[in-house]
Amino acid sequence: MAHTIAVLSQKGGTGKTTTVRTLADVLRRSDVRTLAVDLDPQGNLSDYFDLPTDVEPTIADVLSGRAQAEEAVHEDIIPANLSLAEAELMMGGKMGRELTLRRALTGVAGEYEVILIDCPPSLGLLTVNALVAADRALITAEAQYFALQGVEQAMQVVELARDSLNPQLTLLGVLLNLADMRTVHSREALLSLRERFGEEVFDTVIRASIAYAESAERATSILDHRPDLGADYMALAEEVLERLPDAGEARGRLRRLAAQSAPT
């Protein structure tokens, strides 16, 4: 069975989609079978992976019961578009609405080692569906003032999902993203997160760079566009696998990839 990781934040623009895209890139290059699920009506993940905008079926069709999850997998991605906003509204009125994604993904979970779910920038029904479908939650925070409040709010939703619907759910970690450690903002954000969440905060901090916007625009992985920056995500992937049970063999594959891509 796959390890299913929901990537969430209370705020917009904390690098969730970039994290899902790039972790998927690193894992796939290490031959770890990885499914990426776009659960945001903005459809950014689908764009970052350069899927055609009219690709069908999408996650909206899956959540509405019009398609099976396996039919909606395109190049190991389940895409989303604006029709997901409508699907979310429809789900809202149904019994078991929080369980829809969990049920839908059981059909594909056996095909993958890791499933990454990209949540929208709100803590509403879609994010709750991701947390009920997942066994781990990865919270991203932008390295700014108020990072701590945002993470605390996301953590409350994780705890709510665990206490009410998904007792297996645990925190995978808190990721400080878009950081410029030369600034006081970023250093204080990291310090406050470490004080509050200790070891739960990943050692890896993802550095801010304009190169991410460029690589998103070109739908090119940062691993190819700027391998020096991509190294942050290689290190993050290593930490992620370290925190997953039974992922020792996958870590071996990742180490081999890292050795190949290290500068000589």
Ligand X SMILES: Nc1ncnc2c1ncn2[C@@H]1O[C@H](COP(=O)(O)OP(=O)(O)OP(=O)(O)O)[C@@H](O)[C@H]1O
Distances (CA, A) of 173 to 7, 53, 66, 104, 201: 10, 32, 34, 25, 6
Contact string 28-67 vs Mg ion (x = CB under 5 A): ----------------x-----------------------
The C-alpha atoms of residue 113 and residue 245 are separated, in whole angstroms, by 12
Specify the residue, 83 or 140, whose C-beta has the smaller distance to ligand X. 140
Distance of closest approach, residue 48 Cβ to Mg ion, in angstroms: 9
Specify the residue, 41 or 57, whose C-beta has the smaller distance to ligand X. 41
**Taking a C-beta distance cutoff of 8 angstroms, is the pair 237, 20 a contact?**
no
Distance of closest approach, residue 9 Cβ to Mg ion, in angstroms: 9
Decide: helix, strand or coil at residue 80.
Answer: coil
Counting contacts by CB under 5 A, is residue 16 touching Mg ion? yes
Which two tokens mark 228? 């020096």
Specify the residue, 60 or 67, whose C-beta has the smaller distance to ligand X. 60
- Compute, in degrees rounded to 10, the torsion defined by CA atoms 149, 151, 153, 158: -170
Distance of closest approach, residue 69 Cβ to Mg ion, in angstroms: 21
In the complex, the residues that contact ligand X under the rule CB under 6 A are 9, 12-18, 40, 42, 44, 121, 177-178, 206, 208-209, 212-213, 216
Q: Is 227 exposed, middle or buried (0-12, 13-18, 19+ CB in 10 A)?
A: middle
Per partner kind, with CB cut-offs from 5 to 8 A, the member of Mg ion, ligand X, none near residue 178 is ligand X
Contacts to Mg ion by CB under 5 A: 16-17, 44
